[in-house]
């Protein structure tokens, strides 16, 4: 039961601006007219409306069909009416939203809604739309697409999917099988390693036991317990356990206890401590006495030094009378003051004389220069004339001389007194120095006396002296006596220390001997303990080996091996299923191909007449599982049976083959809806083949609904001639306004 399209309504799609309707013939619809008259827009609208949301973007991009939307209208819509072959009509509505460029929103009604739309593009001008299980979006434009396309046309993809699924199952089982095999291998390896390790250990312990003279076959838990009982340490309070683990712990405990250095007898230890303490006390006392003695020595030394210094000062002060010296000094000071006063008096007299001398000298000078003058001395008017002047000058000269001599006398006298004053001053200074020295000595004497007193007070505070000391000589005697007594005490203490040291030495030797004996005993015990431990370990190792031997005897890996075998069986089952599928797949493919090739050859020969290669055939080269398509070869065959690949054919022959492949697939009756859209298919054909194609369409349209558009007048003529009464033929006008859309009319 075939579905077929009845009508297509187009608006705002490519060249079609205003709404146009095109009724479609169930078999063949022909659109004829010159180039750019709007035919292709209808062909593309049908394809877009049916599978526009299934065609990948690259198909549009590749065909430069991005301009889906017509620029004169806002709405882009294609409505496709179809019939389900039982008289029921449905609509598929495709609409291009404003935000999209090419991908429509499609609302499908009726039975096609549940089917998968597929688009098969062979060449730009041969496209088909099918609604079936076929692989969508198959484009045979390159050789590598051919295998997929034929798989799809033959309907073999279901096999491939099933095979892929089984393949995945097989690999899953294989992975599990491998994991189990790995686990088994690891287990066996570990078992062997452990078993060998235990045997090596047993051999080692056997040799140790033999070295100790123990027969390993005689080793038993009872023997170990009996031996342990003999080795119980004094501090151990528990019982000897019977189990292996308990015995092991007990041996560890015993070893720890025996490893501790045996304790020394308490009295020896206490005595040693006491002696040490006594010795320490004596040494301290000796040190204390020594420091006391040193202090006494220091005091004695200080005392002697002070006494010596004091006596030196006393010696120096002997015969010195400070009062006498002081009265002498007072007398000298009086004399100095007297002379000093006299000198001052003389100086004033000299000064007066000099003053007078200067006045007289001025008068003399005046007289010598003036003719009439007044005596500067008596203020009388001097008589003029030479004699008077001379007499006056003589008087003045005499007075000057007298004054000069008086001044000289006074100066001489003053100088004499000055010298005396200097001597007196010297004497006075010496006296002052003597007095000062004596006073200094007296101060020092007082200081030494104070120091001696302080020292005596300090010495008297000493516990050994403890009484008031009146004078240094008593203190000296007392200190000497004390030093002597301290020396005696130190001597006694040293003797006592030596005695204690000897006692300590003896006691230590005794203790060392005891310790050595105890350690020897302990070592012996530990050695025995080691032997017992080896015996116990020997028992334990034997137990482990027995456990492993039991394990080996039980052969637990056989269980795992069994599981691996089961998995292998499962895998083989799946492989069997795979092989069955492959077999069925192959026979199905061959069967289909036989039928396919028969039709293909007929169609090819109807479409195209090659002078040499009269036949074509598709051959199965290899069945493949998974996503890989089966491999096919398309062979062209000559009448004489010579075979070649189709690449030797020219373009028109290859186009004819593409068309033949599709038509054959349609004839196989695999799809509920198959539309063949041919847009100017005769581009590469000559007149003969144009005619052949037109004739072939009659037969093709029996199996598949065909919509063909052509501008080729040869083809138009042939089509009108052949299908005028059998198809819908629409004639498109050359002149039409873009804002209105194409103009066409149905011829019949």
Partner 1 sequence: MTDSEPNDTRRTSFILQDILAKIEQAVSEKDEQDFLVNLVKAFETGGKSKVNEILEQKMRETLSGVEKASAEIKEALKEVEGT
540: contact with partner 1 by CB under 8 A: yes
User: In this chain, which of 31, 173, 219, 469 binds partner 1, going by CB under 8 A?
Assistant: 173
Q: Which residues, numbered 34-73, are part of the site for partner 1 (CB under 8 A)? A: 54
CB of 158: closest distance to partner 1 in angstroms? 4
172: contact with partner 1 by CB under 8 A: yes
CB of 32: closest distance to partner 1 in angstroms? 36
Q: Between 62 and 566, name the residue whose CB sits nearer to partner 1.
A: 566
Query: Do the Cβ atoms of 536 and 248 come closer than 8 Å?
Result: yes
CA distance 613 to 611: 6
Q: Is 648 helix (H, G, I), strand (E, B) or coil?
A: helix
CB of 117: closest distance to partner 1 in angstroms? 9
CB of 574: closest distance to partner 1 in angstroms? 8
Distances (CA, A) of 76 to 18, 62, 66, 68, 350: 10, 22, 14, 8, 154
Radius of gyration of the chain, Cα coordinates, nearest whole angstrom: 75
CA distance 742 to 561: 79
Q: Please state the φ and ψ torsions of residue 746, each to the nearest 5 degrees.
A: -85, 130
Q: Between 115 and 722, name the residue whose CB sits nearer to partner 1.
A: 115
Q: Which residues, numbered 575-634, are part of the site for partner 1 (CB under 8 A)? A: 576-577, 580-581, 583-584, 588
CB of 155: closest distance to partner 1 in angstroms? 6
Kindly indicate which of the ranges 150-158, 304-312, 413-421, 446-454 contains the residues binding partner 1, using the contact rule CB under 8 A: 150-158
**Beta strand 138-139 pairing with 117-123:** parallel
Q: Between 31 and 170, name the residue whose CB sits nearer to partner 1.
A: 170
567: contact with partner 1 by CB under 8 A: yes
Q: Who's near 279: CB < 8 A, 6+ residues apart?
A: 497, 500, 501, 504
CB of 713: closest distance to partner 1 in angstroms? 42
149: contact with partner 1 by CB under 8 A: no
Read off the tokens for 132. Answer: 């079936």
Q: Is 461 helix (H, G, I), strand (E, B) or coil?
A: helix
Reported in sequence order, the residue ranges of 114-188 that DSSP labels E, i.e. its strands, are: 117-123, 126-131, 138-139
Map residues 180-199 to x or -, x wherever contact with partner 1 holds by CB under 8 A. Answer: x--x---x--xx--x---x-
Q: Who's near 361: CB < 8 A, 6+ residues apart?
A: 400
Q: Which residues, numbered 367-426, are part of the site for partner 1 (CB under 8 A)? A: none
Query: Do the Cβ atoms of 707 and 27 come closer than 8 Å?
Result: no
Q: Which residues, numbered 335-354, are part of the site for partner 1 (CB under 8 A)? A: none
Residue with tokens 């683990």: 245
221: contact with partner 1 by CB under 8 A: no
CB of 23: closest distance to partner 1 in angstroms? 30
Helices marked H in 608-683: 651-667
Map residues 661-700 to x or -, x wherever contact with partner 1 holds by CB under 8 A. Answer: ---------x------------------------------
Residues linked to residue 8 through DSSP beta bridges, in sequence order: 22, 80
CB of 623: closest distance to partner 1 in angstroms? 14
570: contact with partner 1 by CB under 8 A: yes
DSSP string, 180-226: HHHHHHHHHHHHHHHHHHHHHHHHHHHHHHHHTT--GGG--HHHHHH
722: contact with partner 1 by CB under 8 A: no
CB of 630: closest distance to partner 1 in angstroms? 14
Closest by CA position to 626, among listed 174, 156, 175, 178: 156
Q: Is 244 helix (H, G, I), strand (E, B) or coil?
A: helix
Binding site for partner 1 (CB under 8 A): 54, 114-116, 132-133, 135-136, 155, 157-159, 161-162, 165-166, 168-169, 172-173, 176, 180, 183, 187, 190-191, 194, 198, 201, 537, 540-541, 543-544, 547-548, 551, 556-557, 559-560, 563, 566-567, 570, 573, 576-577, 580-581, 583-584, 588, 670
């Amino acid at each position: 039961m075939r579905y077929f399209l009845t009508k297509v309504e187009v608006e705002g799609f490519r060249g079609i601006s205003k709404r146009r309707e095109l009724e479609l013939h169930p078999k063949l619809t022909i659109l004829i007219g010159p180039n750019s008259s709007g035919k292709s827009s209808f062909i593309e609208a049908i394809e877009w409306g049916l599978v526009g949301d299934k065609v990948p973007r690259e198909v549009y991009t590749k065909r430069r069909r991005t301009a889906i939307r017509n620029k004169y209208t806002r709405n882009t819509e294609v409505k496709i009416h179809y019939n389900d072959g039982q008289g029921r009509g449905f609509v598929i509505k495709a609409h291009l939203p404003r935000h999209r460029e090419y991908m429509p929103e499609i609302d499908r009604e009726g039975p096609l809604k549940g089917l998968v739309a597929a688009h098969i593009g062979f060449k730009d001008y041969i496209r088909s739309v099918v609604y079936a299980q076929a692989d969508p979006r198959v484009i045979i434009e390159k050789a590598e697409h051919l295998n997929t396309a034929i798989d799809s046309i033959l309907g073999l993809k279901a096999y491939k999917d099933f095979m892929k699924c089984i393949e995945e199952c097989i690999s899953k089982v294989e992975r599990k099988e491998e994991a189990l095999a790995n686990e088994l291998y690891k287990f066996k390896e570990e078992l062997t390693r452990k078993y060998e390790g235990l045997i090596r250990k047993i051999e080692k312990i056997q040799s140790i036991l033999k070295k100790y003279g123990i027969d390993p076959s005689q080793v038993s838990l009872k023997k170990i317990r009996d031996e342990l009982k003999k080795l119980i340490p004094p501090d151990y309070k528990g019982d000897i356990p019977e189990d292996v683990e308990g015995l092991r712990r007990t041996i560890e405990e015993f070893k720890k206890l025996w490893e501790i250095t045996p304790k020394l007898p308490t009295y020896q230890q206490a005595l040693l401590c006491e002696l040490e303490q006594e010795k320490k006390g004596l040494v301290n006392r000796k040190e204390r006495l020594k420091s006391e003695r040193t202090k006494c020595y220091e005091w004695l030394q200080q005392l002697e030094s002070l006494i010596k210094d004091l006596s030196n000062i006393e010696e120096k002060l002997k015969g010195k009378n400070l009062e006498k010296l002081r009265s002498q000094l007072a007398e000298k000071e009086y004399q100095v003051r007297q002379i000093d006063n006299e000198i001052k008096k003389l100086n004033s007299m000299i000064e007066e004389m000099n003053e007078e001398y200067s006045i007289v000298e001025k008068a003399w000078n005046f007289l010598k220069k003036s003719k009439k003058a007044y005596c500067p001395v008596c203020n009388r008017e001097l008589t003029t004339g030479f004699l008077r002047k001379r007499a006056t000058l003589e008087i003045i000269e005499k007075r000057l001389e007298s004054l000069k001599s008086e001044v000289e006398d006074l100066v001489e006298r003053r100088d004499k007194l000055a010298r005396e004053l200097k001597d007196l001053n010297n004497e006075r200074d010496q006296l002052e120095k003597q007095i000062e020295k004596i006073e200094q000595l007296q101060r020092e004497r007082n200081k030494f006396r104070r120091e001696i007193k302080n020292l005596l007070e300090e010495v008297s505070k000493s516990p050994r002296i403890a009484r008031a000391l009146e004078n240094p000589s008593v203190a000296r005697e007392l200190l000497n006596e004390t030093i002597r007594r301290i020396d005696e005490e130190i001597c006694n203490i040293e003797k006592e220390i030596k005695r204690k040291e000897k006692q300590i030495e003896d006691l230590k030797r005794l203790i060392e001997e005891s310790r050595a004996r105890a350690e020897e005993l302990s070592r012996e015990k530990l050695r025995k303990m080691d032997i017992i431990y080896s015996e116990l370990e020997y028992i334990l190792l034997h137990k482990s080996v027995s456990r492993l031997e039991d394990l080996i005897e039980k052969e637990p890996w056989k269980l795992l091996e069994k599981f691996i075998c089961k998995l292998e069986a499962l895998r083989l089952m799946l492989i069997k299923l795979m092989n069955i599928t492959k077999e069925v797949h192959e026979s199905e493919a061959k069967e289909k191909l036989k039928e396919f090739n028969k039709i293909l050859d007929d169609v090819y020969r109807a479409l195209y007449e090659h002078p040499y290669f009269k036949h074509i055939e598709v051959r199965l080269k290899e069945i493949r599982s998974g996503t890989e398509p089966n491999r096919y070869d398309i062979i062209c065959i000559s009448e004489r049976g010579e075979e070649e690949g189709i690449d030797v054919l020219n373009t028109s022959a290859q186009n004819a083959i593409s068309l033949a492949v599709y038509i054959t697939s349609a004839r196989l009756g695999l799809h509920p809806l198959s539309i063949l859209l041919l847009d100017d298919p005769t581009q590469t054909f000559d007149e003969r083949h144009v005619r052949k194609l037109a004739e072939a369409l009659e037969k093709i349209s029996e199996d598949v609904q065909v919509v063909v558009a052509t501008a080729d007048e040869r083809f138009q003529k042939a089509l009108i001639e052949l299908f005028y009464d059998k198809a819908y033929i629409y004639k498109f006008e050359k002149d039409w306004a873009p804002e209105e859309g194409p103009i066409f009319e149905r011829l019949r």
